[in-house]
Structures are given as C-alpha cells and as structure tokens.
Amino acid sequence: MPTVRVADLEDDDFLLDVREDDEWKAGHAAGALHIPLSEFVARYGELTEAAPQDGRVHVICRSGGRSAQVTMYLAQQGVDAVNVDGGMQVWEAAGRPVVTDDGTPGHVL
C-alpha cells in the first residue's frame, strides 16, 4: 500500500477526503475534495474531473482504514494514489489547519 506521512505533504498536494458528511462538516483540510466512501464509486467521475492530470491523489480519512480501501481501488484503476498515514487525526495533531465549510476553525470527529 503506497502511503505518505502528513509531515511530507505539501500545501498544494491534491487531497481526497473520503470521510462521511458529518465528519467533513465538523472539520476538514482546506481545499480537499470530499467524496464519502459510501458514495465513492457512484461519484468517481467527480474525482477524475478534479484531480490533476498525471498528478498524485492523496487519500485521507479519519485514521487511514477507509482511505486505504479507496487508495487500493484507485491504484487498480491506474491512478497514482497514496494513503495518508494516520489520516485526519494525525493531520490535526501535527497542527495542520482544520476548517469548516465557512472557513472557521473545525475539529476532527
């Protein structure tokens, strides 16, 4: 499973958040694309439209389990995807910003 540490992510890296709506609303990384795991296959086209051409997709969830599933699926589709180790829990613990939809500070559920 290709993985990347939160500390190794750059601010302009493409981030796909696969947590569910309630988790997203509580707080997420600014600029991330949100497609919940439960809707991922049906909404796959949204990812292919938004992801950078020939770029890497960094997949994140709360702790890394759901994002690992999506990372494996994307790899099978030929997408350069990596799982963000430790997910949003590590993101928040590392001091990375967590925001709500209106840009105010959020938190990880």
- Residue 79: active-site member: no
d(CA 96, CA 2): 22
- The catalytic position among 51, 60, 61, 108 is 61
- CA torsion sign for 98, 99, 101, 103 is negative
List C-alpha distances in Å: 93 to 6, 33, 52, 96, 103: 10, 21, 28, 7, 19
d(CA 13, CA 45): 19
Q: Which of the residues are catalytic?
A: 61
